[in-house]
């Protein structure tokens, strides 16, 4: 009889459990943080509306008018001409572009009309004006 000890074979399987755990944690982090990214950090006091609803479209751009009349495209302050040029470029790339106008309830109507006029010149068809829902905890 052969009394030589047998060598154990090397394990050729890869344990993917730790990898799966990491991927699931990253997925949860991205699911939680994605809605927060699209929210604006510019503070505006939105007017109330009973029919306000939320829409998270990927082809969406936010234009913010604060109470002093400053215009922001996303998070960056822009002039009227810069706004027109930048939104026009976005509109050419994505004809289904959705524009959301977020204005402080204390902003002057002439500032809102100025932005609406620019959107009309460009030919934007999908324009929404943001408001705050009267239901507690819901804003748009």
Mean pLDDT for 60-70 is: 89
Question: Higher confidence at residue 126 or residue 12?
Answer: 126
Q: Which domains does the chain possess?
A: 41-133 (3.30.420.270)
pLDDT at 133 over 80: no
**How much of the chain, in percent, has pLDDT values that exceed 70?**
71
The whole-model pTM stands at 0.56
Listed as own residue / partner, the contacts of 38-41 with beta carbons closer than 8 Å and 24 or more positions apart are 40/64, 40/72, 40/74, 40/75, 40/102, 41/75
What's residue 137's pLDDT? 47
Under the banding of pLDDT at 50, 70 and 90, the label for residue 118 is very high
Please report, rounded to a whole number, the percentage of residues in the chain having pLDDT higher than 90: 26
């Amino acid at each position: 009889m052969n009394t030589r000890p047998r060598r154990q074979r090397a394990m050729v399987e890869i344990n993917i459990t730790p990898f799966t755990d990491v991927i699931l944690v990253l997925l949860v982090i991205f699911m939680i943080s994605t809605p927060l990214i699209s929210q604006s950090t510019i503070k505006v006091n939105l007017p109330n509306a009973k029919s306000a609803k939320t829409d998270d479209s990927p082809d969406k751009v936010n234009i913010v008018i604060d109470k002093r009349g400053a215009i922001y495209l996303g998070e960056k302050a822009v002039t009227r001409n810069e706004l027109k040029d930048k939104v026009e470029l976005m509109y050419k790339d994505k004809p289904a572009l959705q524009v959301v106008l977020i204005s402080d309830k204390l902003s002057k109507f002439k500032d809102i009309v100025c932005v609406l006029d620019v959107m009309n010149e460009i030919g934007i068809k999908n324009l929404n004006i943001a408001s705050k829902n009267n239901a507690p905890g819901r804003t748009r």
